[in-house]
Copies of this chain bind each other. A is one copy, B any other.
Amino acid sequence: MCVLGLGLIGGSLLRAAAAAGRPAWGWNRSAESAEQARDDGYDADTDLRAALVRARDQDAIVVIAVPEPALDSVLDRIGEYAPDCTLTDVVSVKGSVLAAVRRHGLADRFVGGHPMAGTAESGWPAGDVDLFRGAVWVVAAEDDTDPDDWTRVARLALDCGSVVVPAGADEHDSAVARISHLPHLLAEALAVTAAAGGDLALALAAGSYRDGTRVAGTAPALVRAMCEANAQALTVALDEALALLTEARRVLAETGGTEALVEAGHAARGRYDNLDRWEISDAAIGAPGWPQALRDAGRRGGVIRAL
């Protein structure tokens, strides 16, 4: 496996793949992270051409783990040196990556990926060999996805200790808008509204404030990169939340009541707590209609724990 980008996610992936016994090497644009990785005993360099030629020669999986703005230049080089390798990524928004891959004519061997793991930290030193253990790793199944490539990418995720959830790029992006990007915008709005109450309000803030604003502590550049790459799906999710809150505001001001929203929210959180992550045990990858069947299973909460 050849991982491009050795930040938190890429760096953790290099560690996890090596720990799983895979031949694995990494590239990073800046020399500092590559050096830190080498100091920690990993195979890392700043020569992108060399990393990709080696991937081509060994038929390795190429994993894109660079920030969204660096995507196009990296895809250029992949097209040049390793266009026939299985290609995946670990970037948080799948639709825009898929579109970029298609623009570069690299869609044939591409399988989008997204490990749902991370911390507020970044960079090689923040990486963790166990970052993906027990996490959910989305492996995208599009209608034209190659079944062998899909299986290779899913096995990489399983080797890192994750469970695999199959989904289409578009439904993935709609889902993460709701469970990852919307929470960030609500946390930012809560932080601002609380601080508008002055030091008295902040002095009284306890658990519900701290939990509700925790992700507002994330570096703005990271939050913006995630949210803005998924602007369309995030707008839909934000509209739904705004509709709920606007109606709640109307009822609160008119009647003093909060029953409808509070009961619905409690029931919805209960649905998460009681979610049945059932195992997809009959995945016939490569059979006619397999991407649709996998996506349907993912939509119903199914996960793959072994292949």
Contact = CB atoms under 8 A, between A and B. Distances in A.
Contacts of A223: 258, 262, 266
Contacts of A184: 208, 262
A216 B264 CA distance: 9
A188 B264 contact: yes
A194 interface: yes
Interface string A128-145: 000000011010000000
A213 interface: yes
A175 interface: yes
A258 B174 CA distance: 18
A86 to B, nearest CB: 23
Contacts of A242: 242, 245-246, 249
Nearest to A255: B231
A121 B228 CA distance: 39
A72 interface: no
Interface in A252-294: 252-253, 256-259, 261-266, 268-273, 275, 277
A136 B203 contact: yes
Contacts of A180: 204-206, 208-209
A126 interface: no
A230 to B, nearest CB: 10
A302 to B, nearest CB: 8
A234 B213 CA distance: 18
Contact of A193 (B199, B231, B244, B266): B244
Contact of A204 (B179, B211, B253): B179
Interface string A196-234: 111111111111110111111111100110011001001
Sort A-B residue pairs by CB-CB distance and give the 3 closest, nearest first.
A188-B265, A199-B301, A195-B268
